[in-house]
Amino acid sequence: MQSFRTELENPIVEKEIIDLEKKIHAFRGGTIDGERFRSLRLARGIYGQRQEGVQMIRIKLPFGKVTSEQLVRITKVSDEYSTGRLHITTRQDIQIHYVSLDRTPELWANLAKDDITLREACGNTVRNITASELAGVDVNEPFDVSPYAHGMFQYLLRNPICQEMGRKFKISFSSSDEDTALSYLHDLGFIPKIVNGKRGFKVMLGGGLGSQPIHAELLSEFIPANEIVPTAEGIIRVFDRHGERNKRMKARMKFLIKDIGKEAFLELVEKEKKAIAFETYEIDITGFDEVIPETLLQVPKVIIADTSAYEKWKKSNVIPQKQKGYVAIGIKVLLGDFYTDKARVLADLIKNYAANELRFSLRQNIVIRNVKEENLPFFYQELAKLDMVAPGYNSTADITACPGTDTCNLGIASSTGIAEELEKVIEAEYPHYKNNSEIEIKISGCMNACGQHNMSAIGFQGMSINAGKLVAPALQVLLGGANLGNGKGRFADKVIKIPSRRGPEALRYILNDFDANANGSSFVNYYEEKGEKYFYEILKPLATITNLTEADFVDWGNADNYVKAVGVGECAGVVIDLVATLLLEAKDKLTFAREAFEEKKWSDAIYHAYSGFVNGAKALLLSENQKTNHQAGIIELFDTVFVETNKIPFQTSFKDLVFQINKNEPCEAFAKKYIQQAITFFDTIEEFRAKELIYEK
């Protein structure tokens, strides 16, 4: 692996990239543990693929916003380091696949030249902060939430409180009460409100999808805008300290709240207030409320030949903005995949004719904003050249799907293959659903719900069916999910499991019944009226496995018989239990604490020192075959095993020593004292560990 040199304006990013290169060298040389290295690379957006020897790179794009310069930079990186294919995720990121691990530092350095980051795009971190793609132009919004999403992103990026949590943490900002950013299924969901002329947010807490979807609880009907950052910090601190770390399936914040109760959780949050550097945090909103600039180039006049197709496109894909005379254009992107040649043309279009911005959507689409209505014919003409004027944006015909077995280690059945087939069915047999924005179809390749199948009107989850000596790919059919607005939603019911090859027929059964019997009712109301049993009976003939054909054993998009092959999942990070690795981590945290102290970042320095305490204590507990499932438990157990037994002499309890963190304000004096105490503690446990190793020999 050859070294490279980077000349970036941001020394912090440059240091991170050089550190990544060193860690890759150490991993290749066998001097860093593979599990520890996996955790490190995931927090830097580098994710193992189903295909051995290559990586998926996730590019973090807060609230899906990208400028033409950034989009061009992403295309150059994809062309040089990957295959030229860009994948839009359901969290408004861009993923590129088939990247060599050794080239990831260089790739990151190139992205950073246009202020694009990989930091915390994967792993046990705060993931990309999402927002309604129409935020800033939504006719129903009380104000633009974009600067608040951006401010939250900036505050939490590289923040020591959220680098190595028990699981991932997701935050969303909806633009209005329509709640199009789906607050009810996020760890923290924000819905904008104005009360007595003051900006703020309704806040939802502790939602999530996965194998056990849980509806978020109401945290507050109104939190002033300048209190949302300290509120989020307190909640994240509690999750970091008390969240499950051993049982991966129970490690999301929703389970912590369920286990101890919302009131007990909020009491812990209250105790953290003193440790937070401020009671209010003003988010800079300049640059977001400016007048839309004039186009750089004069827009050519265009005469549309096929006016019928143009009008259909306008009806389904063009959205009026709150700015008079302007519209947004929705581009339906099949499976979220598009290529760099088209991306470069889009970059030129938005730079020259549309205020230099587009946004990726939660449904894996593209939105061009700030287009003058009079210029729509020109945009239609240019987008038609790219084959990007398919009607049905955000409609039933616009199916969401995760990559599934194409590239993901956890994929059980093909989600992209069945999605393509279902879109063909709608195109050929149900064209009227291109104007139906209520019935969403979403598909995931496994139970983790990256395709959000369990919150959609019609959902499919990849599974398998045992049929004698063979295994067939299957789909769990889910029905009745819906976003009800203003923080409320309904999760879909699991209705029946069928062989994957019968997925198109299942869709026909569902839509035919709805068309024939709903009598103008919405799908969710019709489903609730009829009930799960009714739809089970409709679909039951498709579930039998006594009449499977050879085709049923071949998954969509494949030529060979299906083989269930599930690898080790990485989307939630890993649990690290090696003593030497933890001691090394503890030492790293103390180094970070000293560096933050020198930069006068008292709060960061204190939290790094706290992490040093915890990692050091966990290392010693593991050396004694003692385990616990969260940081608070580690702190208490260390007292039980080492302090109360006088194995390690302490003038006070370890708990009192460590929990000074939430009893003192983050000032210079306390930071200096706390860091020194952490260093002394580390020296003590290293000495103890050395004696124990000599004794063991």
Contact 611, 599 (CB under 8 A): no
**Same domain membership, residue 317 and residue 261:** no
Write down the pLDDT at residue 413. Answer: 82
Q: Residue 568 above 60 pLDDT?
A: no
User: Is 171 contained in some domain?
Assistant: yes
Model pTM score: 0.92
- Give the CA distances from residue 93 to residues 90, 151, 366, in Å, rounded to whole numbers and listed in that order: 7, 18, 12
Q: Residue 572 above 60 pLDDT?
A: no
**Same domain membership, residue 267 and residue 141:** yes
Q: Considering 353, 385, 417, which residue would you say is the last residue of a domain?
A: 385
**Same domain membership, residue 539 and residue 417:** yes
Cα distance between residue 89 and residue 210, in whole Å: 16
Cα distance between residue 196 and residue 202, in whole Å: 14
- Give the CA distances from residue 142 to residues 136, 147, 175, 245, 359, in Å, rounded to whole numbers and listed in that order: 10, 14, 8, 39, 20
- Paired with 214 in beta bridges are 208
Write down the pLDDT at residue 507. Answer: 98
Q: What are phi and psi of 42, to 5 degrees?
A: -60, -40
Averaged pLDDT for residues 501-515: 97
**Same domain membership, residue 526 and residue 448:** yes
- The domain that holds 683 is classified in CATH as 1.20.120.330
Residues 636-678: pLDDT tens digits? 999 999 999 999 988 899 999 999 999 999 999 999 999 999 9
**Same domain membership, residue 460 and residue 374:** no
Would you give the distance in Å from CA 668 to the centre of its chain? 35
User: Is 627 contained in some domain?
Assistant: yes
Residue 575: pLDDT band with limits 50, 70, 90: very low
Write down the pLDDT at residue 577. Answer: 37
**Same domain membership, residue 157 and residue 267:** yes
- The domain that holds 27 is classified in CATH as 3.90.480.20
Task: Please give the tally of structural domains in the chain.
Answer: 5
Percentage with pLDDT > 70 across the chain: 95
Write down the pLDDT at residue 573. Answer: 40
- Give the CA distances from residue 632 to residues 169, 269, 523, 641, 654, in Å, rounded to whole numbers and listed in that order: 19, 14, 46, 15, 11
User: Is 397 contained in some domain?
Assistant: no
Residues 381-391: pLDDT tens digits? 999 999 999 99
**Same domain membership, residue 640 and residue 510:** no
Name the CA dihedral angle for 95, 101, 104, 107, rounded to a multiple of 10 degrees: -70
Q: Residue 7 above 70 pLDDT?
A: no
Cα distance between residue 508 and residue 647, in whole Å: 69
Write down the pLDDT at residue 219. Answer: 98
Q: Residue 358 above 70 pLDDT?
A: yes
**Same domain membership, residue 422 and residue 346:** no
Write down the pLDDT at residue 243. Answer: 94
Q: Considering 323, 355, 385, which residue would you say is the last residue of a domain?
A: 385
- The domain that holds 188 is classified in CATH as 3.30.413.10
Contact 460, 443 (CB under 8 A): yes
How many of the other CB atoms lie within 10 Å of CB of 401?
Answer: 31
Write down the pLDDT at residue 1. Answer: 46
Q: Residue 571 above 90 pLDDT?
A: no
User: Is 357 contained in some domain?
Assistant: yes
Write down the pLDDT at residue 280. Answer: 97
**Same domain membership, residue 598 and residue 514:** no
Q: Which domain holds residue 94?
A: 11-112
User: Is 540 contained in some domain?
Assistant: yes
User: Is 437 contained in some domain?
Assistant: yes
Least confident of 156-160, 456-460, 628-632, 669-673: 628-632
Write down the pLDDT at residue 211. Answer: 85
Least confident of 30-39, 64-73, 337-346: 30-39
**Same domain membership, residue 423 and residue 366:** no
**Same domain membership, residue 599 and residue 533:** no
* C-alpha angle 281-167-585 in degrees, rounded to nearest 5: 85
Cα distance between residue 164 and residue 240, in whole Å: 8
User: Is 289 contained in some domain?
Assistant: no
Please state, rounded to an integer, the average pLDDT across all residues of the chain: 91
- Give the CA distances from residue 174 to residues 68, 120, 186, 188, 268, in Å, rounded to whole numbers and listed in that order: 24, 22, 11, 11, 27
Q: Residue 556 above 90 pLDDT?
A: no
User: Is 558 contained in some domain?
Assistant: no
Cα distance between residue 58 and residue 88, in whole Å: 10
Percentage with pLDDT > 90 across the chain: 75
Least confident of 77-91, 148-162, 327-341, 583-597: 583-597
Give 438's DSSP letter: S
Residue 632: pLDDT band with limits 50, 70, 90: very high
Write down the pLDDT at residue 565. Answer: 56
Write down the pLDDT at residue 566. Answer: 52
**Same domain membership, residue 135 and residue 108:** no
Q: Considering 518, 535, 553, which residue would you say is the last residue of a domain?
A: 553
Write down the pLDDT at residue 5. Answer: 53
Averaged pLDDT for residues 418-436: 95
The residue that leads in pLDDT, 576 or 157, is 157
Write down the pLDDT at residue 564. Answer: 66
